[in-house]
Amino acid sequence: MNSLTRYDPLGEVVSLRSAMDRLFEDSFISPLSWRHTRTPLTTPEIDVAETDDEVVVTAALPGIAPDDVEITLTGQTLMIRGEFKVDEKVDRDRYLYQERRYGSFARQLHLPLRLQGDKAAASFDNGLLTLRIPKAEDVKPRQIQIQANGTDVSSKEQNG
């Protein structure tokens, strides 16, 4: 299925600025952070897929309780907020390695389709949040019948 991507010149400026910010931070503020992934430590990984009837958003949120996640859909903008909590059982000074992420996160996505937010459903299984949002009726694909010489081809095939 083909998708339409709109050109956003400001998006390139923002991504250039964030790349420069990351370069500055990696070089001077925390030079040992080269081991980390390209996304901030508290930003969850998100996949967005489309079917004929809905948009499916999945987010990896290991170690988070479902009650600690807030999901809002305003128009075509989806916001997922939550917090990776620190393990309070271990004193911070006693860590030899601390690679698990913690802290608050907010992930905002602009979905390129009109959706029925009031019919959305979310589930949480083994640290994977799955959000299913039905498409608005007017954006769902429709089958269009071809008429030849003023008659409906599909009805002619059924009668013949």
pLDDT digits (tens, 9 = 90+) for 15-71: 677 777 777 666 665 545 444 444 445 688 899 999 989 999 999 998 888 988 999
Q: Residue 46 and residue 115: Cα distance in Å, rounded?
A: 18
103's enclosing H/E stretch is: strand 103-110
12: helix, strand or coil: helix
Nearest partner of 104 among 73, 69, 57, judged by Cα: 69
What are the Cα distances from residue 43, in Å, to 25, 105, 109, 128? 17, 6, 13, 14
Reading the block at residue 112, the tokens are 């390129």
For residue 81, what pLDDT is reported? Answer: 93
User: Domain spanning 41-141: which CATH class is it, in words?
Assistant: mainly beta
For residue 26, what pLDDT is reported? Answer: 64
What is the residue extent of each domain of the chain? 41-141
